[in-house]
Amino acid sequence: MLTSRLAAVAAAGALSLTAACTAADAGSSTSTGPVKIGVVVPVTGFLSPLGLGDKAAVEQEVKAINDAGGVLGRKLEVTIKDDKSDVPQSVTEFNQLAADKSYSAILSSSFVSASTAVGPSAKTAKIPIVALGPVSAFADGSNPYAFTGVAVPEVYARAMVDYLAAQKVSSLAIGYTGKDLYGETGNKATVAAAKEAGIDVVLDEPYDQTATDFSALVSKVKAAKPAAFLVWGAGPAPVIISKQFAGSGIPLLMTGAQASQLYVKPAGAAAEGVVMTSSIAVPGRELPAGPLKDLVDAFTGPWAKTNAAYPPQFAFDGATGVQLLKAAIEKAGSTDRAKVRDALESLDVLTPTGRFTFSKTDHAGLDTDAVAIVKVENGDLKTTPYSLQRFGTNLPK
């Protein structure tokens, strides 16, 4: 089972670090040379669309920071490692970075299962990490070194159910990745939120995210006749599901993992009308003027010049991860790992993806005001009237 595999991988990673880590050398506190952070993301493999967005965003953000004078008057230096969309590989790459005391912090993988697996290693190495994937296991602060820089599935689930309730949707079918924590956690949270809202979940079906044919799932959804169908997953699978589900007459819903042209373009006509949750930054062009829009525009401007497109959700997540670590290092006034960790835990900062207010018992830091509901219209992601109205009263400040 995935849980057993993750536990074994994490335990092995933690043991491999024990000999290299002691309280006396828990972090770099030198005051010269570059400020070093590590990044582990899926640059290759089935989740490469996530990792490539993270990578490009991190590199853009680091350049912008250095052009503006760096961190603590020093250059910010980033080392990016490819975990190949593989949990054991992610743990290996993470451990190699964590064992090097010159690194002050690490951005862990946007692959949720991989980020979850490195949690014990972060604790053993006493190095603060900010996950680029929505890791629910880090949310309660039980691991003092692990934080998440993306709204966790529970927040996305609640935002989606709030929207469905407002639209008076009475029943829901859910398809979710059965071998990845992102889908499993999101599904569980959606079922709980739907029950509380009085929405009947008529189908709750796992699928293999590496498969290429989802006709069996599609047939089950059609037979269940829900008022809407929600897919919890990342990677290529949601694109295939969208194409096979097209013409069903049942509204299709997606999560933030599809909130970009990386889903919209390959899905083509099948994506039209699909509604999904997203980071508040994704519909940034439609945000009202103010501090949040200023931060979004500051990132999207350079991105558009380089990529000739609006940033995907994963790019905003990568930029936010770097900004959180920069803010923590500056607040700590040090690159010492323990001091950076302490600064993270008391951080209150506005980023392009919302205001993070971390605390000892909240290492997630975001709520539903950081989530928008968008809809694919003419090949673009447009803010729904529901979210446009909420922008006037629920916008992060």
What average pLDDT is seen over the chain? Answer: 91
Average the pLDDT over 124-146 and give the result: 97
Does residue 42 contact residue 85 with C-beta atoms inside 8 Å? yes
When pLDDT is cut at 50, 70 and 90, the band that residue 9 belongs to is very low
pLDDT at 30: 53
Numbered ranges of CATH 3.40.50.2300 in the chain: 2-152+299-368, 154-279+370-391
What is the SS3 assignment for 212?
coil
Cα-Cα-Cα-Cα dihedral sign, residues 237, 243, 244, 249: positive
Task: Name the E strands within 183-227.
Answer: 200-207
d(CA 218, CA 229): 10
- Burial code of 190-216, b = ≥16 C-beta within 10 A, e = fewer? bbebbeeeebebbbbebbebeeeebee
pLDDT digits (tens, 9 = 90+) for 186-223: 999 999 999 999 999 999 999 998 899 999 999 999 99
DSSP 359: B
**Which percentage of the chain shows pLDDT scores above 90?**
83
The answer to whether residues 286 and 300 touch, using CB atoms and an 8 Å cutoff, is no
Rounded to two decimals, the pTM is 0.86
The CATH homologous superfamily to which domain 154-279+370-391 belongs is Response regulator (3.40.50.2300)
Question: Which of 163, 259, 274, 267 lies closest to 229 in space, CA to CA?
Answer: 274
Render pLDDT for 95-113 as a digit per residue (tens, 0 to 9).
Answer: 999 999 999 999 999 999 9
Closest CA to 355 of 289, 292, 300: 292
At 138 the pLDDT is: 97
CA atoms within 13 A on the CB side of 303: 25
Which has more confidence, 17 or 124? 124
Pick from 113, 115, 120: which is nearest to 40 by CA? 115
- Please give the CATH number for the structural domain made up of 2-152+299-368: 3.40.50.2300
Band of pLDDT at residue 308, cut at 50, 70 and 90: confident
